[in-house]
Structure formats: C-alpha cells, structure tokens
Structure 1
Amino acid sequence: MQRATAARLLDQFAGRRALCVGDILYDSFVYGEVRRVSREAPVPILSEIRRSAMLGGAGNLARNVESLGGQAILVGVVGNDAEGDAVRALLTSSAPDSAAGVLTDVSRCTPSKIRYVANGQQMFCVDRDPEAPIGSDTQERVLDAVRSRIDGADVVILSDYGRGLVSGDFARSLIDLARKSGVPVCVDPRGLDYTRYDGAYVIKPNADELSAETGLPVTDDQSAENALKTLKSRLPETDALLVTRGGQGMSLLAGNAAVAHHRARPRSVFDVSGAGDTALAALSLGVAAGLTLPDCMALADLAAGTAVGKAGTASVTPEEVLQDAAGGEKAPDWRVITRDTAATLADQWRREGLKIGFTNGCFDILHPGHLAVLRHAKSTCDRLIVGLNSDGSVQRLKGEDRPVNDQASRALMLASLEMVDRVVVFEEDTPQALIEALTPHVLIKGADYTADELPGARHIKAHGGEVVLAPLVEGLSTTNLVNKLAGRR
C-alpha cells in the first residue's frame, strides 16, 4: 500500500468507537543485565535495573485502539487482588471513568505475566492464571456491561486470551447481541472449535492457530488458502477469515471472493509481544470506518510490522505506521489533514497532557522569516498545528495574481518542516472557525499583529489559553519577494 493511501485511510480511524471485550492481563517487565552465573545452580543472575507495567490481552488491544486514533471502551474481569487494583490504577490514570466496564470476580485471580528481560533479550516469562472459567453470574454481569455500552459502538472486538472469560456460551451470546445491534464483531480466537465464534464479521487467527484448528499446514500462500477455505466451510455465518503469517504477511478470505494476500515488507524484528493486538486493533478500526477488507488487512499488516520493531508489549500511532510504511519515501503528505481529523487529534493530545500550539498564514513563498516564526511557535508548545489559507482565500486576500504556489504545494512544503506537526487547509478568510474547532493552548503570530485583534484570540483566552507574538525578521515578506521577482522594486 502506498503511504499516501495509507495516510488517507488511517485518517478515517479517528474517533471510531471500539467496544473491546475479553481477558484483561496485568503485564509487568523486569529489566536488567546478566554478568554472572549463580553459585547455587547453573543459572544466570539478572541484576535488576528497572520495572514497568502495562495492560495486556484486551487491555493492550484497547491501548492500541486509542493510540491508532480510535476510542476504546473496555469490558472485562479482574480478581479482588493487588494485580486487579493495579489494572484499575493503570486505566484511571489516563481517564477517570475508563475502568467502569472492568468488573471484579472475587472467586478468581487477575491473569498476569511477568517477563524478565536481560540486555534487550527476554529470558523467561512467569504466568499466573485463574484456575477455572468465570461463573454464570459473572458472565451475565459482563454481558449486561456490554449491553449498556454497545449503543454508539462502531465495532465490537472479542479478545480471547484463553483465561476463562470467553467460554463458548459467552462468545455466542456476545456475537448474537452485537448482530442484533447491527455492530460488526472482530475476533482474536484462542483454542480449538471456532464454531463458538460463528456469526462474527471477521475472525483473525495466526498461522499456527489456523493450522491447529484445521489440521492442515499453513506454510505458504497455497496452503494458507486451503486452510482458510476448510475453516470457512465450518463457519457459514462468518463473513471473513484473516490469517496472520508473520514475515509472510497476511491472507484474507472474504465471502466468495478469491483469497487475497498482503506481503509484509521485510523488517528487523525486535519483539513480537502484543503485535497481534496491534493488528487486530487496526483491522477492527478499518471495519469500524467502513473500509474494504483488503484495505483493512493491509493496514493491519503495516501496523503489526511497526509493532514488532518496538520493545515490549507495544502500541503504535498512525505517525509511526506511516513513517514505517514510507521506507525510502520522504514526502510528508500524511501530516496534511482535515479539520475534523485535526480536532480529534487535538482532543487526543490534550488527554495525553500535551500543549497544543497554532499559527496560520498563506506561506506562499516560504522564506527565512516564515521559518523564524515557525521555530518560535514550536518553542511554545509540544505539538504545532499550522492553518494554511486555501488558494481561494489567498486570492481574495492578496489579489488575482496570488498565490504563486498552489495550496497542495504550500501544504507539502510546510509539512516537510521538522517544527510542524500538522497542516490544515482552511477555506475562510480568517482561521477563526478552525481555531474554535481545535481550541489550542497557545496562538502564535508575527509581531506585526496586535494580540487582541487576532481572529480566535478571544476564544483561546476564554478557554485559558494565551496569545504569543513572535519576533520578525526585518525586511522579509512574500509580497516583497513577489515584487522583486516582478521587477517592481
């Protein structure tokens, strides 16, 4: 998939609501170095340097949905134990009500993993799992939590990590509930007998899981096709099957269409932990956005490929996916986004505690004066959004012979600058409406303006923001350059 196409499709993830249901794990990592062997037994001794913790299973799935620009609603079960408390603390640290769908079952422990990592290499992993599936009372409580949250959801994602939540009865009840609500279901399966997932929109096993389920090898394109068709014959109510095949990419069987393959770009694999969650999140957000399944598969493959290049149970952002997809390409056109996408992204940045800056202009012939203002603007904030007057707007403001460069060229030039995080083209003569849609923390303009007279200044100040005037480089302006080129001075 071309990076420009990926950018356009990833933009459609923004704001899509995914109801994430499944096993929630508490993942912790112990990092250190190995310098010696124990005198008590022939085993290496890990000298601990630091620890970290994050959500695994459906929790990591929800984290990937959020990082890709969607909105995650998490429903699951934890035990009445320290790990369960830690799960809730991790959730509420980002949003106070995000743990509302996490129920407590006093009869079971919270599933957990502890990974021990030495010199960047995982040594071993310790699992703590519940001894039995959830009871019928807890199952009904979880389904009630789904019922109360499914309105407004664009997709339901069922994440089965085999920790006892997703029994056959539960899976069938959840899929039936979603179908009656008109919401597609994407499934990450576990174990054998996928008939319990029949009725889902798409089921996504990996190659080993597909092989175990069908009893057939999955080693190349042809064997993947055979296994997918065999499994589909057992699942008449399922719309599509997608198998992830590691370095061989992914293969999709949708309805009666021929099996489609997407070949992953070769890349260095650092850590595969959580890459399946990343793929499922991208696949499901694509479904939520109404994209074609081949496009969903391509985006899922790109996202998973980005995740395996990162350490730990990774989540990825659209920016990282696009940078990875670019390969040798350098064009930054993915930074040029729509007003609605920018507003959603600004909300996400605010939730992450980032300070948002905004400046605007025609930027017709980019010159050092522009660069000075943009550098000053970036110094005031964590993320800088630049509003760019459209061609029609520039013509109304500057005259019939302007702009010299069209808006696509001007946007591309701005997006190429390291201090610019996003560019939004606006059609109006002033950026007032765009500023009101974004509500940045700080508005930055050149010192040739008066702060109180700037469009959007009152709105920003009313929301606790500030207006900053950047110093100008004397004698530099696009108008002067145009006059000079025309021989008028």
Structure 2
Amino acid sequence: MTLQSLDHLRKLDGKRIIVLGDVMLDTFVYGHCARISPEAPIPVVRIEREEVMLGGAGNVARNIAALGAEAILIGVVGQDAAGAALRTKIHEEARIYADLALEQRPTTQKIRYIAAQQQMLRVDIEESGPIGAASLLHAFARQLPTADAVVLSDYAKGVLTPDLLTTVIRQARAAGKPIIADPKTIDVARYDGVTLLTPNAAEAAQASGQACDEDEGACSAADQLLAAMPTSPAVLITRGAKGMTLAQRGAPAIHLPALARAVFDVSGAGDTVVAMLAVALASGLDVTEAAHLANVAAGKAVSKPGTAVVTVDELREELQHDYALSTSDKIAVPSGAVRIIDSWRRCGARIGFTNGCFDLLHPGHLSQLAQARAVCDRLVVGLNTDASIQRLKGPARPVQHEQARAAVLAALTMVDLVILFGDDTPIDLITLLRPDILIKGKDYTVDRIAGADFVQSYGGRIFLADLLPGHSTTKLINRINHLAN
C-alpha cells in the first residue's frame, strides 16, 4: 500500500456512484438449535430474532455509503411486502437514494437461518427472467450527469440484460465515467467497454476455462477475459484466501495477497470490493491504487459477521496499522521523527504534541497522556533530557535517566513517538514538527505554553488536559524519602 493511496482517503466524501443491478432483500433469522427433528434428520431451530438489510446491488450501495460517498440505487422491486420492506430500508440508510421500478414479480429475497453462528439453511425467493429495460434506462439517463462512477452489480436476476448493458456502458463511457462490473455470467463479452471487470475465481475460471488456484492460472484467465472484452482496460480477479490478481492491458499482472487477520464470514465481501473500487476510481485513483484499497477493505469485511459494511474510518485504521511502530522504534531523533510524522500526515493523521520530564510515571501522567491521545491520531511526546531537567529542577533530578524514561513512555499504547530534547523549552522541536494539536495540562494557560503562538499561527489547536488531583512526581519523591527515613 502506497502513501499516496492513504492520502486519497481524505477525498472520498461527496462522490456520487450509480449502482445499477439486482436489488435484493437479505433476511437473517437467528435462533437456537438444541435438538434434531423426530420427523426427519434435520436440526430444529427455535427463532429468537430477525434482521433485514439491503442485499445484492443494495449491499454494494450500503458499502459505498459507509465509505462516505452517495449511492444512487437503480433496479426493480416487486409490488409485495418484501418490496415495501426493501424501500423502507433504503429510506433508513444515510446517503442511499433509490430510483427503482415496480414490476409484477416477487422481490428477490435471500433468507438465511443461523444458529450458533452457523448458517443452517438459506431460502431464495426470486424470478430471474429478463426485465424490460425502458424504465431502467430512463432512470440511468436521469442520474448519469451527476454521477462520478457507475457500478453494474449483476446477480443474474434479470436486470442486466445484454441490450441494457450495451446501452449503459456506451452512455457511461461517452460521459467519461469509470464503470465497474461485477459479472455473473460466462459471457463476459457483454461487459465489453467497462473500466474494470471484477469476477471471483470461480466466475473467471468458468468464463475462461482456466483454473485460478495459482497465480499463473489467474493471469491466463485474466488475459482470456481481456481478449473477450477488447475495449476494456483491466480485470481484477478476487481469489479469496489467495488474494487478488489485477491484469491491465499491456502491463504485467499484479498479485495482491489476502490481508484478512481473521475470517469470520465471507458473505458480501465481493460487494465491499466493488464498492471500494467504485469510490476510489470516482475519487481519481488509478486502477492499481483502487485495487490495493479494495484488498484492504475485503480483509476487513470478512472479519465481520453477515453482509457487513466497511467504513472509511475502519479502512483508515487498517491502512495505518502498517505504519504503527514497535516500542523500540518509538524513540526517535528529531530528523527521524520528521520522516515518520510526514508519513503519518500523508495518511491523513492529526499529529498531537505534548512534553514533560515524566520522571516517575504516575496516574496523573497517564490521565494527561490518555486525554492527549484522544484528541489526535498520533501522539508525539517531547521528553526532557537529564541535563535539561537538572537545569530546571536541580541536581537531584531526574530520578530515572533519560533512556529509562523514554523506554517507559514508548511502552504505552497511547504514545506513538518519543523525542528527547535538551533545551529548556520544546519550542525548536515544535517549530520543526509543526503539530496539529499542542497539549498541556490545565495548570498552564495558553499564554504560558511554549510554542502556542506558533501552532496557532498556522491554524493548529491548543488543548488543555484535565489534571488528576493528588498526583505529582514531587509528592511521590517526598513520600519515598519519608518512607526511607
């Protein structure tokens, strides 16, 4: 993952994505299973609760909205109770807007029965015959001028017919909009012209006749898919635990390893990938950067139960995880600290700075550091050297030498970086680092804080942390001396 793509996370808000495809209603019925039916060798599930959410193209829309963009959902629903429930769910979702056609057919439903975190049964209610394109094309034409990208979410339920695909791909290309297609047919030629096709390994294998278990096979499959779509520039094959393979016309294939730390449920992970690709391409990323982001989003999605979405904050946390420092790396010299802080800034992180002697760490220190970390994304601590403490507090201090104090601070999870400084004030360090937030305790006033004027001059903030009564290093040392005597 490059720092450039991390920087683009700040640009995701406000994009508008058309999601055209098969809209479904996903129902999850949760219960308890304690016995086998006496009527047949099947489990008996006692129902306890039920959850309803948008599925299919609707789940792509949910993921787009979670990433901070707007989703315009175009599809069909039936004139039935499930259709009414689906429209209600759309109304409840922030940043999802519907342009749906009513049809004389049942709303597509997937009903999953779950006990002990295991799916016991899935029931599908659907008709998958082709749907008339006129109303869908009118809706697409209405929404296209204000859209930044188009997703074609094909679940083979009759919405994305070959004629409709030909028309909407032509119109979107003419309008200069990136198009991402998630296919459900071996006839990939019908998607010719899309910016990026996103089959999973099984779909790519069926369409190409080439198994995608190994990297070489995935490359061959992608080449055959590109040959079948002569005006499409790229294919991304999602391969589950094997990661992803990105093939771009005229360039070597790129293999992205799976990033999931723990796999809980793969339901809907493909929708998360498509949503991330769409928002990334709409935001101006190239296909490679978009694929890297989608790979991270997929790893987060499969760690959640059900058809869960991935938020932009969760994505940023996953990306920044790669740049977290070990305890030994947290103690830095100023020049090294600048490089680290610059990388954090390119990730969109807000840098906080506080300073002190931190001679004998006590609950008051911990409270102040926790408050400091709560108002920023990365907390940098300026730590007085032994020589500067002796000038400020006398020859009997510090009790612990500077490397010991730095090691203790670096071991705290709320501290991201420790920098020793030898001056009486940290003003030179603050000038070098240019923190976004300068933090001190409420025993200071803003006019007494070194560097406050400088930080405020470029729009930075000053934060005064509450003090924890009854705790100070001086009191702690006096108590130790009293006990010793």
Same fold (TM over 0.5): yes
Aligned to 2:412: none
Tell me whether 1:186 sits opposite 2:185 in the alignment.
Answer: no
Partner of 1:353: none
Determine which structure has more spread, i.e. the larger CA radius of gyration: 2
Aligned to 1:84: 83
Cα-to-partner distance string for 1:301-328 (whole Å, 9 max, x where unaligned): 1111111111000111233234445667
Separation of aligned partners in 1, 2:11 and 2:246: 21
Instruction: Quote the residue 2:68 is aligned against.
Output: 69
- Residues 3-18 of structure 1 aligned to structure 2 (within 5 Å): 7-18=6-17
1:357-407 alpha-carbon deviations (Å, 9 max, x no partner)? xx99975669898986897899xxxx967999xxxxxxxxxxx97253357
Task: Check if 1:44 corresponds to 2:69.
Answer: no
Q: Which residue of structure 2 lines up, in the alignment, with residue 457 of structure 1?
A: none
**Counterpart selection for 1:299 from 293, 298, 302:** 293
Quick check: 1:114 aligned with 2:111? yes
Q: Distance in 2 between matches of 1:413 and 1:119?
A: 49
Structure 1 residues 72 and 432 mapped into 2: Cα distance closer, same or farther (>3 Å)? farther
Amino acid at match of 1:77: V
**1-structure distance, mates of 2:453, 2:24:** 48
Helix, strand or coil at the partner of 1:404: helix
Is 2:110–2:125's contact at 8 Å kept on the other side of the alignment?
Answer: yes
Structure 2 counterparts to residues 319-334 of structure 1, below 5 A = 319-325=313-319, 330=324
Q: 2:219 aligns with which of 216, 225, 228?
A: 225
Partner of 1:395: none
| Contact 2:274/2:294, CA 8 A, preserved across alignment | yes
Counterpart of 2:208? 214
Give the counterpart letter for 1:314 in structure 2.
A
Change (3 A) 1:337 1:71: farther
Instruction: Return closer, same or farther for 1:94/1:327 CA change in 2, 3 Å cut-off.
Output: closer
Report the CA distance between 1:218 and its aligned residue.
Answer: 1.5
Distance 1:472 1:144, change over 3 A: farther
Q: Which residue of 1 aligns with 2:102?
A: 105
Cα distance in 1 for partners of 2:70, 2:255 equals 29
CA shift at 1:289, angstroms? Answer: 1.8
Query: Do 2:243 and 2:258's aligned partners in 1 also have CA atoms closer than 8 Å?
Result: yes
Query: Match for 1:405: what amino acid?
Result: I
- 8 Å CA contact 2:260, 2:303 repeated in 1: no
State yes or no: 1:273 paired with 2:270.
Answer: no
Question: Residues 148 and 177 of structure 2 are in contact (CA less than 8 Å); yes or no, is this contact kept in structure 1?
Answer: yes
Name the counterpart of 1:249. Answer: 243
Question: 1:163 corresponds to which residue?
Answer: 157
CA spacing shift, 1:264–1:82, aligned 2, 3 Å:
same
User: d(CA) in 1 for partners of 2:453 and 2:191?
Assistant: 48
Q: Output one character per residue of 1:162-194: Cα deviation in whole Å (capped at 9) or x when no partner.
A: 111110011111111101111111100111211
| 1:134 aligned onto 2:93 | no
Alignment of 1:402 onto 2:427:
yes
Q: What is the RMSD of the two structures over their aligned residues, measured on CA atoms?
A: 4.0
Aligned match of 1:203 in 197, 219, 227? Answer: 197
| 1:298, distance to aligned residue in structure 2 (A) | 1.3
Letter of the structure 1 residue corresponding to residue 126 of structure 2:
D
Deviations 1:204-244 (A, max 9, x none): 10110011111222221111111111121121111111111
In the alignment of these two chains, the number of paired residues is 402
> Which amino acid in structure 1 is aligned with residue 120 of structure 2?
M
CA contact (8 A) 2:353 2:438 kept: no
2:26 and 2:110 in contact (8 A); partners too? yes
Q: Counterparts of 2:457 and 2:344 in 1: how far apart (Å)?
A: 16
CA deviations 1:132-190 (Å, max 9, x no partner) are 2212xxx2211111111112321111101111111001111111110111111110011
Letter of the 1:108 partner, please give it.
R
1:175 and 1:427 map into 2 onto residues whose CA distance is 56
- In 2 relative to 1, CA 143–431 (structure 1 residues): closer, same or farther, beyond 3 Å? farther
Do the aligned residues in 1 keep the contact of 2:437 with 2:460 (CA within 8 Å)?
no
Structure 2: unaligned runs, 5 residues or longer: 327-340, 380-424, 440-451, 473-485
Gaps of 5+ in 1: 343-358, 389-399, 415-425, 436-443, 448-469, 477-489
Where do residues 315-464 of structure 1 align in structure 2 (5 Å cutoff)? Answer: 315-325=309-319, 330=324, 363=354, 402=427, 404-405=429-430, 408=433, 410=435
Tell me how far 1:258 sits from its aligned partner. 1.4
Secondary structure class of the residue paired with 2:33: strand
Aligned partners of 2:314 and 2:297: how far apart in 1? Answer: 8
Judged with a 3 Å threshold, the aligned counterparts in structure 2 of structure 1 residues 407 and 19 are, in CA distance, closer, same or farther, namely farther
Give the structure 2 partner of residue 351 of structure 1.
none
Structure 2 CA distance for partners of 1:363 and 1:159, relative to 1, 3 Å: same
Candidates 117, 133, 141, aligned match of 1:147: 141
SS at match of 1:19: strand
Residues 25, 82 of structure 2: 8 Å contact kept = yes
8 Å contact 1:186–1:284 — kept in the other structure?
Answer: yes
Question: Following the alignment from structure 1 to structure 2, what is the Cα–Cα distance between the partners of residues 427 and 52?
Answer: 53
Per-residue deviation at 1:285?
Answer: 1.6
